[in-house]
Chain A
Amino acid sequence: MFDVLEKYDILAAFWMTIKLTFFSAIGALVIGTVLAIMRVSPVAVLRRLGAFYVNVVRNTPLTLIVFFSLAGVGIVLQINLVDPNSATSLRDNAIRWAMVALAVYHAAFVCEALRSGFNTVPLGQAEAARSIGLTFGQSLREVILPQAFRGAIAPLGSVLIALTKNTTVASVIGVAEASALMKVIIENETASVAVFLVFALGFVILTLPVGLLFTSLSRRLAVKR
């Protein structure tokens, strides 16, 4: 069995999975934080916009978002994220659109995780911040957000693990990550339990340490009240 697997570059495929995860996670964190701030802001329109985004994106299948981002926006509307004349434009475009789609999708979950973090901060903290004269922005930056992040570490870890596994969806637009390679192997060597197990093991190796790290972080960084 393992001689079959030696013919394929499994590490390169998982490296692509890691790259997808890394860049999408950063994107999701940024968008998600903005969304979370919108959802707790004193402006009603922003709150509704944030809620609308979360509800729409969270309830749309990821496959659809990923496929639509490349096929609909990238190819039909011709909005390229790379130089269309480069020799690898198709491949790079697919990778970048996959990252965008994954970031946009998981931002909704990051937002909700952060909002749960906001709820761990007692109301008195915000009131105290305002009473010493901090503006909304200042109190958010100096008082609320740092505590919210520390309270939201565990759910953020869950989002990251989900994101890692969800990168497999990128194979629907041809990104050469782990599950795409699995399809190649199944096509050439026929399906067998061993192939599935190897790839499942790969994901466990990626996600298990993340889970352990975030659990211990959440324990160490949680605000003692």
Chain B
Amino acid sequence: MKARRLGAVAAAATLALTLAACGSGQPSGGSGGTGGGGGGGLKIGIKFDQPGMGLKKGNEYSGFDVEVAKYVAKELGTSEDNITWVQAPSAQRETLIQTGQVDFVVATYSITDARKEKVSFAGPYFIAGQDLLVRADDATITGPDALDGKKLCSVTGSTSAQKVKKQYPGVQLQEFGTYSECLPALQTGGVDALTTDDTILAGYAAQEQYKGKFKVVGKPFSKENYGIGLKKGDTAQCTKITDAIKKMISDGSWQKALDANLGPAGYKPGAGNPPTPDACS
């Protein structure tokens, strides 16, 4: 009897661990969030680990995505205190939206056709491009054309990594689990450049411990339209969010948020910014 009870406890603990591993950062429990979201609150998915875009430090959330999310929430009639932030790692974004664990996702979420089949997008609210981050004293890498024989670092399976493999076969690519793991390798010369969206690169270059050590090359070679992902077919919500984005751009909050979060790295947004959000369909 006792052994059986112990077994059940162990099984429950294992289950809890598995759940935690799958959906870390998810508002506690399997109640589906019905309790927490009662008073007109919003659950917003953001990145927790991307300096400059979406970063969690203690209980503070900062970054451009976070500012956009706050502004949109305000326009939807939700105050900052009623926002529940949910971690939305890249691979889980569609699932989080489809299962209703978040109301929308603002997490460096590029609008692509494959994703449009599963979720709807409001936006774009920002146009990023794939760029290179190099050591501040490196003058050899001036752009994507000067990459032959160089060693690049990116994240396993990411769009940026795939693009490098396909378009620049003369480049060697080291892939790691996260971008922060590339930085020590870049610093010590193990790799020559880190490549992904310029927003993410600027966020890392602006971090306190790396200030002045790295620079963004500033020759983007792709176009990523960041959108706000929400439940497929929810046109009403999509229109409201699109209006909020338009208002944010026109009243100057957009520029202010950008300067505050990515400005310190000397980052200038690429051509096409601020973008005009597409109509919802």
Given contacts A90-B151, A174-B156, A183-B156, 17 further A-B contacts (CB under 8 A): A75-B184, A75-B188, A78-B190, A88-B172, A91-B172, A91-B173, A171-B177, A172-B176, A172-B177, A174-B173, A180-B157, A180-B175, A184-B157, A186-B157, A187-B157, A190-B94, A191-B92
Q: Are B172 and A87 in contact, with the CB atoms below 8 A? A: yes
Please pick, from B158, B172, B177, B191, the residue contacting A67 in the complex, using a CB distance under 8 A.
Answer: B177
**By CB atoms of chain B within 10 A, which of A74, A171, A186, A187 has the most?**
A187
**A165-216: which residues lie under 8 A (CB-CB) from chain B?**
171-174, 180-184, 186-191
Q: How far is the CB of A21 from the nearest CB of chain B, in Å?
A: 19
Q: Which residues from A are CB-within-8-Å of B117?
A: 190
Alpha-carbon distance A180/B172, docked complex (angstroms): 17
Q: A71-B184, A90-B151, A190-B114 are in contact. Are A173 and B175 (CB under 8 A)?
A: yes
Contact status A67-B181, CB under 8 Å: yes
Known: A172-B177, A180-B157. A187 touches B90 (CB 8 A): yes
Number of interface residues of A (CB under 8 A): 28
Most chain B beta carbons < 10 A, residue from A172, A174, A183, A188: A174
Contact of B91 among A89, A91, A172, A187 (CB under 8 A): A187
Closest to B160 in A: A187
Q: How far is the CB of A70 from chain B (nearest CB, A)?
A: 8
Contact (Cβ within 8 A) A190 B188? no
Residues of chain A within 8 A (CB-CB) of B188 are 75-76
- Whether B173 contacts A90 by the Cβ 8 Å rule is yes
Is A153 positioned at the interface, with any CB of B under 8 Å from its CB? no
In chain B, residues 86-121, which have Cβ atoms closer than 8 Å to a Cβ of chain A?
Answer: 90-92, 94-95, 114-115, 117-118
Chain B residues, CB < 8 A from A161 = none
Residues of B within 8 A of A (CB): 90-92, 94-95, 114-115, 117-118, 151, 156-159, 162, 172-177, 181, 184-185, 188, 190-191
- Assess whether A102 is interfacial by the CB under 8 Å rule: no
Q: Whole-angstrom distance between the alpha carbons of A74 and B174 in the complex? A: 12
Check if B176 sits within 8 Å of A71, measured CB to CB: yes
Question: Which residues of the other chain, A, contact B91 by a CB distance below 8 angstroms?
Answer: 183, 186-187, 191
Q: Which of B92, B162, B173, B185 contacts A71, CB < 8 Å?
A: B185
Q: Check if B174 sits within 8 Å of A174, measured CB to CB.
A: yes
CB nearest to B172 among chain A residues = A90
Q: Does A191 lie within 8 Å of B175, measured CB to CB? A: no
Chain A, Cβ-Cβ closest to B151: A90
Closest partner residue, chain B, to A94 (CB atom): B174
State the Cβ distance, A94 to closest chain B Cβ, in Å. 7
Residues of B within 8 A of A181 (CB): 157
Inter-chain CA distance A196–B92, complex, in Å, is 13
A87 vs B176: C-alpha distance in the bound complex, in angstroms?
A: 19
| Identity of the chain B residue whose Cβ is nearest the Cβ of A185 in the assembled complex | B157
Chain A residue with minimal CB distance to B116?
A190
Which 9 A-B residue pairings sit nearest by Cβ, starting from the closest?
A: A174-B175, A183-B157, A75-B190, A172-B177, A184-B157, A90-B172, A75-B185, A90-B174, A190-B94
> In the assembled complex, how far is the CB of residue A124 from the closest CB belonging to chain B, in whole angstroms?
34
Contacts A/B (CB < 8 Å), 26 sampled = A63-B177, A67-B181, A74-B190, A75-B184, A76-B184, A90-B191, A94-B174, A171-B156, A172-B176, A173-B174, A173-B176, A174-B174, A174-B175, A174-B176, A180-B157, A180-B175, A182-B157, A183-B91, A184-B157, A188-B114, A189-B114, A190-B94, A190-B115, A190-B117, A190-B118, A191-B94
Distance between Cα atoms of A221 and B234 in the complex (Å) = 64
- How far is it, in angstroms, between the C-alpha of A174 and the C-alpha of B173 when the chains are bound? 9
- B-facing residues in A146-175 (Cβ within 8 Å): 171-174
CA distance A184 to B161 in the complex (A): 9
Contact at A187–B159, with CB atoms within 8 Å? yes
* B243 smallest CB distance to A (angstroms): 27
Inside 8 A of B175's CB, which chain A residues have their CB?
A: 94, 171, 173-174, 180
In the complex, the answer to whether A89 meets B172 with C-beta atoms within 8 Å is: yes
Give Cα distance in the complex from A71 to B173, angstroms: 14
Scan residues 68-126 of chain A and give those whose CB is less than 8 A from a CB of chain B: 71, 74-76, 78, 87-91, 94
The distance from the CB of B192 to the nearest CB of chain A, in whole angstroms, is 11
Measured between beta carbons, the chain B residues less than 8 angstroms from A78 are 190
**Measured CA separation A76–B173 after assembly (Å):** 17
- Which residues on B sit within 8 Å (CB–CB) of A74? 190
> How far apart sit A126 and B162, CA to CA, in the bound complex (Å)?
58
Bound together, the chains give a CA A91 to CA B162 distance in angstroms of 15
Which residue on chain A has the smallest CB distance to residue B170?
Answer: A87
A181 to B175, CA, bound (A): 12
**Bound Cα distance A184, B118 (Å):** 17
